[in-house]
Chain A
Amino acid sequence: MSVRDAFTRPARLAARAPYLWMVLFFLVPFGFVAKISLSQTAIAQPPYVPLFDLTLGVAAIKAAFAALSLDNFRLLVSDDLYVLSYLRSLLVAAISTSILLLIGYPIAYGMARLPRTWQPVAMMLVIVPFWTSFLIRIYAWINILQHDGLLNQILLALHLVSTPVVWLSTDGAMYLGIVYSYLPFMILPLYATLAKMDPALLEAASDLGAPPRGAFWLVTFPLSLPGVAAGVLLCFIPIVGEFVIPDLLAGSDSLMIGQTLWLEFFNNKDWPVASAVAVALLALLLVPLLLYERMQRRQLERA
């Protein structure tokens, strides 16, 4: 047995506590979501008909299985409200992720080109807003964008507009808020791949006659694709389920799926439908989630 193997057994023992914790508080709860998504709504506390009660014996469990219903899922596909809000969520996530990539890439590239000593400082500057409260950063924008906020005051003072522009409760404000909040998530993985790149590759490209722009598209960009993929997934998946930003910045005429789930749960007190919305959302995100998980695992195992 090598010295290195001696660590394997204690390390596996160490896994037990977090393993148990995650099974109990991450995996098992999905079981409850799935179970309640198949049950009926009721005016009760909690507001659903319990599916089965283990104390009542096998017959009761059999009866419960017979009572399982897909009604909530039927509602999801038959009512336009749900279908439209899934589609809107995917669209908003796709558009914002594209904007994030377009803005984040030049910033990450600029960071990677800074002198070595300045790079940690720039990285710190990008990380700090991520540590600052999400809600507060959205609130900061409400301050600026409101009817008599700073933006309208400046525009009026410069005579660029004659009456205050409505910025809040628009899709534009929502996209601004999403891009603002998720920008660090896009920049950091991009920067990580760009900073690792060997400068000799670009020299070789220019020695072989590639103009700088050609070298960028032929060498730099293809090599940065793992970072692009990580940044895109890291932004796209949570944006699809985003609640706070559309709730505070977008108008109320069309909802994202996170808002629909929230309303079903807190306003309509319809836990079964809220659970069905969550199950469908999870199904929608399963492929990107698995992709992300695989990338994360590979990356950390290579380190």
Chain B
Amino acid sequence: MTTRPLNSLSRFNLASLALGLAFLYLPILILVIYSFNASRLVTVWGGWSTRWYGEFFNDEAMLEAAWMSLRVAAASATLATLLGTLAAAALSRGGRFKGRTLFSGMLYAPLVMPEVISGLSLLLLFVALDAARGFWTVTVAHTTLTLCFVAVVVQSRLGALDRSLEEAAMDLGCDPFRAFIAVTLPLIMPAIAAGWMLAFTLSLDDLVIATFTTGPGSETLPIRIYSEVKLGVKPEVNAICALVIAGIAAVIVAASLVAKLSSVRGESAAPL
């Protein structure tokens, strides 16, 4: 092999990679370990225990907030996936239509827009519309943010797709709509699934936009955790955080399994 220069890993490369990953994972690992600490003093190790998990399941307000977050995440991720996929299809198959620049601008700007601005502006809209603030306003706000992430994920998959497959379907008598449903949609399904899961976790994670757009009496989990964290470190909060991490890890494992399954199926279906 003559490609030695790029493929060889120097000790420096390996060290920076290992240190970087350790930096990313150690704090989370420490948090999870301490969530099993039996001692009430967060910093003194008192042996292994699951008592803080028990405390969480007895905390009505926390459970209610978790339920609210899960509902908002499921509803907004589903709406965002529908709208985001449509947006991605329009951008990658629509050619140069009128208003395209504005459209893509509106889709990419929220990806980096500071959350305080998005949150404030949506709240002012909801106040002007006199909408009752709570589940639906947070759901609409999260949909607006996360549909942009879905659009980017799906669009990059659509761009990498072999267009001749769609064209073959049309040559065989499909109209564009049927060709999209029968050929394109199954091929981009892994990206759509990944987009849904990303939207779900982003919604579950959001504090700032939810704080602006929610109303009294309907707190999401991050809002609840934030007010606890402001008061200091508590073992119970460690347990909740560890549970959220476990939940997200489960979603990621599911996502990679879905991707693996569909890529296996996609490969076997492709030659047909």
Contacts and interface: CB of A to CB of B under 8 A. Distances in A.
Contacts of A301: 159
Interface in B93-132: 93-95, 97, 99, 101, 103-118, 120-122, 124-125, 127-128
Interface core residue of B16, B104, B166 (most chain A CB under 10 Å): B16
Given A8-B94, A113-B13, A143-B233, A300 B155 contact: yes
A131 B248 contact: yes
A153 B43 contact: yes
Interface stretch (B60-68, B169-177, B264-272): B169-177
B124 A18 contact: no
Contact of A19 (B93, B99, B118, B256): B99
Secondary structure of the A contact surface, majority rule:
helix
Interface string A280-303: 011001000100110011001101
Contacts of A101: none
B81 to A, nearest CB: 11
A134 to B, nearest CB: 6
A143 B110 CA distance: 31
B229 A248 contact: yes
A136 B31 contact: yes
A143 B42 CA distance: 8
A258 B8 CA distance: 44
Interface in A128-144: 128-129, 131-137, 139-144
Contacts of A15: 86-87, 90-91, 94, 97, 103
Interface string A103-140: 10011011111110000001011101101111111011
Given A33-B124, A136-B245, A300-B91, A143 B112 contact: no
A106 B12 contact: yes
Interface string B139-162: 011011001000110011001100
B13 A131 contact: no
Contact of B103 (A22, A234, A242): A22
B104 A137 contact: no
Interface stretch (A24-32, A57-65, A75-83, A221-229): A24-32
- Bin chain B's interface residue count: 35 or more
Contacts of A135: 205, 207, 222, 225-226, 229
B27 interface: yes
A242 B114 contact: yes
A107 B20 contact: yes
Nearest to B175: A6
Given A131-B252, A140-B31, A32 B90 contact: no
A98 B165 CA distance: 45
A158 interface: no
A13 B141 CA distance: 24
Contact of B248 (A3, A133, A197): A133
B33 to A, nearest CB: 10
B261 interface: no
A129 B24 contact: yes
A278 B117 CA distance: 6
Interface of A: 3-12, 14-15, 17-19, 21-23, 25-30, 32-33, 36, 46, 103, 106-107, 109-115, 122, 124-126, 128-129, 131-137, 139-144, 146, 148-150, 153, 180, 183-184, 187, 197, 199-200, 202-203, 206, 212, 215, 233-234, 237-238, 240-244, 248, 258, 261-262, 265-266, 271, 274-275, 278, 281-282, 285, 289, 292-293, 296-297, 300-301, 303
29 contacts: A4-B163, A12-B90, A12-B94, A14-B94, A15-B97, A18-B107, A19-B103, A33-B117, A33-B120, A103-B20, A107-B20, A110-B9, A111-B17, A112-B6, A129-B24, A129-B25, A131-B201, A132-B245, A133-B244, A133-B248, A139-B241, A140-B241, A142-B233, A153-B43, A180-B27, A200-B3, A237-B114, A238-B115, A240-B114
Interface of B: 2-3, 5-10, 12-14, 16-17, 20-21, 23-25, 27-28, 30-31, 34, 42-43, 82-84, 86-87, 89-95, 97, 99, 101, 103-118, 120-122, 124-125, 127-128, 140-141, 143-144, 147, 151-152, 155-156, 159-160, 163, 166-167, 170-171, 175-177, 179-180, 198, 201, 204-205, 207-208, 211-212, 222, 225-226, 229-230, 233, 237-238, 241, 244-245, 248-249, 251-252, 256
Given A112-B6, A258-B115, A292-B112, 5 more contacts: A14-B89, A25-B144, A184-B24, A237-B112, A297-B108
